[in-house]
């Protein structure tokens, strides 16, 4: 009987060996796609954690409560309610309230200050999206590159075989070459889905920040300023 430790470690080792063998069939392009898939997955997980820390899904209730206090004229309570809040909505609303109450700032200067804060917060919220866009773009291209190089190798083998060419050998080379195309699409599709989802979350965040700035500053320029900051 084999030791228990060997039985426990055999399945993971076998799965790892099978995975490495599968990747090797696609050549260098498949290894590049595998590295891209790991990077894309890590980026997606990192982005979810970042948006959670920014209160993208749970930070609106404190801002809404503070805005209710603000519209009632209880400005000090509204500012205190948002103090030390970490969500982007709360941070933007807090900055807008301070700017609106600052006697040294007129309406235009207050809106410019809010725009500055909005630009910085939205830049934080959008961090990492370019990486996902890159993954969704180059994944299929790497797959196509692997397929083309694999097809070239397969036809070179067919040419060298001459009249003794085995159709089964050619078919095997073709399906191995097509693996990279499938792998590239398998990486690009989830990356594109995640990118679209994150962009919708950031757009919703921008909309809520715009609405908060409008209610606080009561200015027609605040929404346009925030839209410019989001671009």
For residue 3, the model assigns a pLDDT of: 46
3-state SS assignment for residue 58: coil
Give the torsion sign (CA, 36, 38, 41, 42).
negative
Distances 150 to 20, 29, 98 between C-alpha atoms, Å? 18, 10, 63
List the chain domain ranges.
Answer: 29-230
CB 179 within 8 A of CB 141: no
Residue that has been written with the tokens 């007129």 in this structure: 106
Q: What is the mean pLDDT of each run of 10 residues along the chain (231 residues)?
A: 44 68 74 92 94 83 87 87 87 90 86 90 92 93 86 74 64 73 92 95 91 76 45 51
175-188 burial, b at 16+ Cβ within 10 Å, e below that, comes to ebbbbbbebbeebb
For residue 172, the model assigns a pLDDT of: 61
Q: Please give the Cα distance from 53 to 63 (Å, whole number).
A: 15
Q: Please give the Cα distance from 47 to 202 (Å, whole number).
A: 11
For residue 18, the model assigns a pLDDT of: 72
For residue 8, the model assigns a pLDDT of: 44
For residue 223, the model assigns a pLDDT of: 43
Q: Would you give the DSSP letter of residue 220?
A: S
Q: What is the pTM of this model?
A: 0.77
């Amino acid at each position: 009987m084999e030791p228990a430790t060997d039985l426990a470690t055999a399945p993971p080792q076998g799965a790892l060996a099978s995975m490495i063998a599968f990747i090797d069939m696609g050549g260098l392009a498949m290894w590049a796609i595998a590295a891209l898939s790991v990077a894309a997955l890590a980026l997606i997980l990192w982005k979810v954690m970042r948006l959670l820390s920014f209160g993208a899904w749970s930070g609106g209730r404190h801002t809404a409560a503070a805005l209710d206090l603000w519209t009632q004229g209880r400005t000090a309570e509204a500012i205190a309610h948002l103090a030390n809040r970490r969500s982007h909505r709360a941070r933007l609303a807090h900055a807008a309230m301070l700017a609106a109450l600052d006697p040294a700032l007129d309406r235009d200067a207050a809106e410019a200050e809010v725009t500055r804060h909005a630009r910085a917060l939205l830049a934080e919220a959008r961090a990492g999206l370019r990486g996902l866009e890159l993954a969704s773009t180059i994944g299929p291209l790497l797959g196509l590159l692997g397929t083309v190089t694999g097809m070239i190798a397969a036809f070179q083998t067919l040419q060298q075989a001459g009249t003794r060419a085995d159709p089964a050998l050619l078919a095997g080379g073709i399906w191995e070459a097509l693996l990279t195309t499938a792998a590239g699409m398998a990486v690009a599709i989830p990356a594109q889905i995640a990118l679209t989802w994150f962009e919708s979350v950031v757009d919703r965040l921008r909309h809520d920040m715009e609405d908060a700035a409008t209610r606080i500053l009561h200015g027609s320029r605040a929404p346009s300023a925030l839209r410019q900051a989001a671009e």
